[in-house]
Structure 1
Amino acid sequence: MGKPTVDMLRARARGQVITTSDAEYEEARKVYNGMIDRRPSVIVRAVDVEDVMAGIDYARDNGLDLAVRGGSHSVPGFGTCDAGVVIDLGRMNGIRVDPRQQTARAEGGCTWGDFYHATYAFGLATTGGIIASTGIAGLTLGGGIGYLSRAFGLSLDNLLSADVVTADGRFVVASARENEDLFWALRGGGGNFGVVTSFEFQLHPVKDVVAGLFFYPVDKARDVLSFYRDYVATAPEQMGLFPAFQIAPPLPFIPKKEHGKTFCAIVACWAGALKDGKNQMAAFRKPAQAVAEMVAPMPFYAMNSLFDPLLPPGLQHYWKSSFATELTDGAIAAHAQFGPKVPVVNSTMHIYPINGACNRVPSDATAFAYRDAKFATTIAGMWPDPADNQKNIKWVKDYYKALEPHSLAGGYVNFMAGDDQGRIRDNYKDNYTRLVSIKRKYDPGNLFHLNQNIKP
Structure 2
Amino acid sequence: MTGNLLEPASVDQLRSRFNGRIVTLDDGDYEDVRAIFNAMIAARPQVIARCADAADVAAALAFARANRLEVAVRSGGHSVAGASLVDGGLVIDTRLMNDATVDPGRATVRVGGGASWADFDQAAQRHGLAATGGRVSTTGVAGLTLGGGSGWLERRFGLACDNLISAELVTADGRVVTASEDHNPELFWGLHGGGGNFGVATALTFQLHPLPEFSIALLFWPAEQGRSVAAGYRDLMRDAPEEAGGGMLFLTGPPEDFVPPHLVGTLCCGVLVTYCGPQAALREFAAPLLAAEPHGQVVTDIGYADLQCMLDDPPGYRNYWSDEHVRELPDEALDRFCRRAYDMVVPSPSQHALLPWGGAVTRGRDWPGFDRTVPWAVHPLGLWEDPADDDRAIAWARNLRADMQPWSSGDVYLNFIGDEGADRVVAGYGEDNYRRLARIKAEFDPDNVFNRWHAVQPAA
1:304 aligned onto 2:305:
no
Q: 1:168 aligns with which of 166, 173, 192?
A: 173
For structure 1, which segment, 101-110 or 345-354, has the greater mean C-alpha deviation from structure 2 after superposition? 345-354
Check the 8 A contact 1:142/1:187 in 2, yes or no.
yes
Partner Cα separation in structure 2 for residue 68 and residue 372 of structure 1: 31
Are 1:123 and 2:128 matched, yes or no?
yes
TM-score by length of structure 1 reads: 0.94
Aligned to 2:3: none
Q: Deviation digits for residues 127-150 of structure 1, max 9, x if unmatched?
A: 011111111111111111111100
2-structure distance, mates of 1:59, 1:405 = 46
State how far apart, in whole Å, the 1-side matches of 2:401 and 2:372 are: 21
Q: 1:218 to 1:192 in 2, by over 3 A?
A: same
Indicate conservation of the 8 Å contact 1:318/1:417, yes or no.
yes
> Aligned letter for 1:132?
S
> Which SS does the other structure have where 2:381 is aligned?
strand
Q: What stretches of structure 1 of length at least 5 have no aligned partner? A: none
1: CA distance between counterparts of 2:405 and 2:352?
15
Instruction: Give the Cα–Cα distance (whole angstroms) in 1 for the partners of residues 122 and 212 of structure 2.
Output: 10
**Could you tell me which of 261, 266, 270 is aligned with 1:265?**
270
The aligned amino acid for 1:258 is L
Shift of 1:263: 1.7
Give the distance between the partners of 1:208 and 1:387, measured in 2 at CA. Answer: 45
Do structure 1's residue 359 and structure 2's residue 343 form an aligned pair? no
Partner of 2:332: 330
Alpha-carbon distance, 1:319 to partner: 0.7
Q: Secondary structure at the match of 2:139?
A: coil
SS at match of 1:379: strand
1:307-322 to structure 2, matched below 5 A, reads: 307-308=311-312, 311-322=313-324
CA–CA separation in structure 1 for the residues paired with 2:440 and 2:107 = 31
Helix, strand or coil: the match of 1:229?
A: helix
SS at match of 1:71: coil
Aligned residue runs from structure 1 range 125-274, under 5 A: 125-274=130-279
**Identity over aligned residues, as a percent?**
39
1:58 is matched with: 63
**Counterpart in the other structure of 2:441:** 439
Asked if the contact 1:30–1:37 (Cα under 8 Å) also holds between the matched residues in 2, the reply is no
TM value normalised by structure 2 = 0.94
For the Cα contact (< 8 Å) 2:232–2:288, is it kept in 1?
no
**Helix, strand or coil for the counterpart of 1:351?**
strand
- Are 1:247 and 1:262, in contact at CA under 8 Å, matched by a contact in 2? yes
CA contact (8 A) 2:25 2:46 kept: yes
Distance verdict in 2 for CA 1:278–1:230, change over 3 Å: closer
Q: For residue 207 of structure 1, report the CA deviation from its aligned partner.
A: 4.5
Q: CA deviation at 1:387?
A: 2.8
Tell me the secondary structure at the aligned position of residue 258 of structure 1.
Answer: coil
Distance verdict in 2 for CA 1:328–1:142, change over 3 Å: farther
* Contact 1:145/1:354, CA 8 A, preserved across alignment: no
Aligned length: 449
SS of equivalent residue, structure 1 residue 269: strand
Judged with a 3 Å threshold, the aligned counterparts in structure 2 of structure 1 residues 32 and 10 are, in CA distance, closer, same or farther, namely same
Deviation (angstroms), 1:107: 0.7
Say if 1:207 and 1:300, in contact at 8 Å, map to a contact too. Answer: no
2: CA distance between counterparts of 1:144 and 1:35?
24
Letter in 1 for 2:437: L
Bigger drift between 290-299 and 181-190 goes to 290-299
Cα deviation for residue 302 of structure 1 reads 1.2
Instruction: Quote the Cα distance in structure 2 between the aligned partners of 1:431 and 1:7.
Output: 43
Deviates more, 1:65-74 or 1:214-223: 214-223
Question: Is 1:347 the counterpart of 2:329 in the alignment?
Answer: no
Measured in 1, the distance between the counterparts of 2:61 and 2:333 equals 44
How big is the shift at 1:252?
1.4
Cα-to-partner distance string for 1:153-199 (whole Å, 9 max, x where unaligned)? 00000001001111111001100111000000010011111111111
- C-alpha separation between the residues in 2 aligned to 1:326 and 1:193? 35
CA distance in 1, matches of 2:199, 2:444: 8
Q: Which residue of 2 aligns with 1:371?
A: 372
Partner SS for 1:213: strand
Partner of 1:21: 26
What displacement does 1:208 show?
4.2
Return the offset for 1:219: 2.5
How far does residue 269 in structure 1 lie from its aligned partner after superposition? 1.0
Deviates more, 1:240-249 or 1:389-398: 389-398
Contact 2:278 2:301 in 1 (8 A): no
Q: Which amino acid aligns with 2:319?
A: H
Instruction: Summarize deviations over 1:386-431 as a string: whole Å, max 9, x none.
Output: 2322222222222222223322222111111123433111111131
Match of residue 48 from structure 2? 43
CA contact (8 A) 2:213 2:277 kept: no
1:380 aligns with 2:378: no
Provide, for residues 317-361 of structure 1, a one-character-per-residue CA deviation record: whole Å limited to 9, x for no partner. Answer: 011112222223332122111123332330002222221111012
Q: CA RMSD in A?
A: 1.7
Return the offset for 1:298.
1.2
Shift of 1:293: 1.3
Deviations 1:296-332 (A, max 9, x none): 1111111112222xx2211110111122222233321
1:276 match? 281
Residues 250-305 of structure 1: per-residue CA shift (max 9 Å, x gap): 2212221222222221101111245423323323225x331211101111111112
1:404 match: 405
